[in-house]
Amino acid sequence: MNTITWQEFENVDLRAGTIVRVEDFPKARKPAFKLWIDLGEEIGIKQSSAQITKRYTKEDLLNKQILCVINFPVKQIADFRSEVLTTGYVLDNGEVILSSPDFPVPNGTRLA
């Protein structure tokens, strides 16, 4: 395991957001959804591509609160700009379980 400093951890900007729109992403190399995530007034709605189709349906995802890294560079995936990284736990079988707060928090709240 590599260790990092507290300052290095503070550089990763992790925020809570709510998924407000979900679409299939047939142009992605691996099965994925296009997500639009409301990260609060200060940050706004950002797009993310997420390979979470094994565990979630579009209906499961709508209005779900999740945790995102908002300060990675934008990544072009096929014809879609992924602006934030949706976080989750990758299981041995390839399924991803999304990271989410136990209780609702205001969109844009930073993980400390």
Percentage of the chain with pLDDT > 70?
A: 100
- Polymer length of the chain: 112
pTM above 0.85, yes or no: yes
Question: How far, in Å, CA of 24 to CA of 86, rounded?
Answer: 16
pLDDT reported for residue 41: 97
Q: What are the structural domains of the chain?
A: 9-93 (2.40.50.140)
Mean pLDDT across 64-85: 97
CA distances (Å), 90 to each of 11, 45, 54, 93, in order? Answer: 23, 25, 11, 8
CB-based burial label for 39 (10 Å; 0-12, 13-18, 19+): buried
Residue 73: pLDDT band with limits 50, 70, 90: very high
Q: What is the 3-state secondary structure (H, E, C) of the chain?
A: CCCCCHHHHHCCCEEEEEEEEEEECCCCCCCCEEEEEECCCCCCEEEEEECCCCCCCHHHHCCCEEEEECCCCCEEECCEEECCEECEEECCCCCEEECCCCCCCCCCCECC
Residue-wise pLDDT for 33-58, tens only, equals: 999 999 999 999 999 999 999 999 99
pLDDT reported for residue 72: 95
